[in-house]
Amino acid sequence: MIKIIKVQLIRLKYFILQIKLNFIGIIKYRNIELRDDEVQKAYIFLAADYGNIGDLAIVYAQKEYIKSIIKNCEIVEIPLAMTRAYIRKLKKIIKPNDIVTIVGGGNMTDRYDSIEEARRMVVKNFKNNTIISFPQTIEFTDSIFGQEAFKRTKKIYSKNSNLILLAREKMSYDIMQQAFPMNKVYLIPDIVMSLKDKVNIDTVRTDKIGVCLRDDKEKNLDLNILELISKSYSKNSYEIMSTYIDGDEFVYEYREKYFFDMLKKIREKSVVITDRLHAMIFCYITNTPCVVFDNDNHKISQSYNKWLKDCNYIKLLTAEQGKDICDYVENMKRSKINDVDLSRKYLKLDHILRSFNKY
C-alpha cells in the first residue's frame, strides 16, 4: 500500500513538472521565433542555460562537431528552459531533412529529473525525424522514484525507432543496450574530448597547482585534499577553482566565454587536482597534467578507463592513494606528454551525421 501511494506521488510530481515546463515555455519565452525556410537545420535541444561550465562545453563541442560534418547546415541551440515552447512551434515547421539532437552529458538520470523529463518530451514529439542523443551517462537509482523514472524513460524511448542513443562509457553502453532494445546504441567518447587539437589556448604554463573539487550531491571524496595541499604548499602555490558559475552571475550570452576562460585557467596550471569529469577532460584537451578522483557514480572511472588510461599525464587515484597527493602532484609535474588520439572513436558518429549531407 505504501509503495502504491509513493508511485502515485511520483506520477503527481511528473504532472506538476509538466505544468512547470509548459509554464516556462509559454510565459517566459512566448515571443520566440523560428525561421521557416528551406535551409537544412540541426537543432540542439536542452542546451545548457545555467552555469555548469562542463555542460556549456558540451553544447559548444556538439555544435562544432555537427558543423564540421554536415555542410551548409544551420545550427539552432534550444536552451533547456525553452524546450516546451520550441517543441510546440517547431512541430509545425520542421522538415524531413532536419536533424534533432539532444545534448550529451550526465543527466539521463532521476538525479536531474527535470532535464530527463525535457529529454522525454523531445523524444515523444519528434518521431518522424532522426534524433541523436549525444554521448550520455545513464544512471537511475534503485529507489522507488528512480525505478519509476527509468520505467518512464524506457516506455517513451522504445516508442521512437528513430532515436539513436550514444553512451559515453562502457557501463552506460551496456545499460542502454539492455534497456532500449528498440533503439540503436553506440559507444562514443564524451563530445568535449573531440575538441582535442581543435582549440588554441594561448597562455603560459605556470608552476601553480589547480584544485577543482565538487561540493554537491555527486561528491564522493571524504579525504580533505585541500588540507593536505595547504600543509605542503604556500597559498600562492595553488588556486581553488570551480567549473560552476552561480545563477546570479551567469549570463547566457557569455556561455562560450566562460568555457574558454576555464580552458585558459586549466592550461596555466602545472597540475590540476579534481573529481569533476569535465575538469579532467579540459586537462586532456589542453595537455595539462591531472590527478583525478572518482565521484559517486561511474562516469569518471568509466570514462578514464575506457578512453584516457593510456594518457600518462592524467592519473586516476583512489582515496587511499590520495593521502599521498603531494607526491603524486610532484610526479605529474615531471611527466612527459604521452598523448592518446581518440579521433577514430568518433567514426560511427561521423557516419551517422554524414548521412545528412545527401540532403
Q: For each of the chain's 359 residues, which pLDDT tens digit applies? A: 555 555 455 555 545 555 555 555 455 445 556 777 788 999 999 999 999 999 999 999 999 999 999 988 999 999 999 998 899 899 999 999 999 999 999 999 998 899 999 999 999 999 999 999 999 999 999 999 999 999 999 999 999 999 999 999 999 999 999 999 999 999 999 999 999 999 988 889 999 999 999 876 666 666 788 889 999 999 999 999 999 998 889 999 999 999 999 999 999 999 999 999 999 999 999 999 999 998 877 889 999 999 999 999 999 999 889 899 999 999 999 888 888 999 999 999 999 999 988 65
**Grid cell for residue 347:** 567514426
- Closest by CA position to 117, among listed 78, 150, 159, 164: 150
Please tell me the distance from the alpha carbon of residue 94 to that of residue 162, in angstroms, as a whole number.
15
Residue type present at position 172: S
- The answer to whether the beta carbons of residues 207 and 270 sit under 8 Å apart is yes
What one-character DSSP code corresponds to residue 304?
I
What is the reported pLDDT for 308? 97
Question: Grid coordinates in use for 305?
Answer: 578507463
Q: What is the DSSP string of 184-231?
A: EEEE---GGGGGTTT--------SPEEEE---STT----S-HHHHHHH
Q: What is the pTM of this model?
A: 0.91
Domains, the chain, in order of start with CATH, read: 2-195+345-358 (3.40.50.2000), 209-333 (3.40.50)
Predicted confidence at residue 32, as pLDDT, reads 58
User: Taking the alpha carbons of 291, 297, 303, 305 in that order, is the dihedral positive or negative?
Assistant: positive
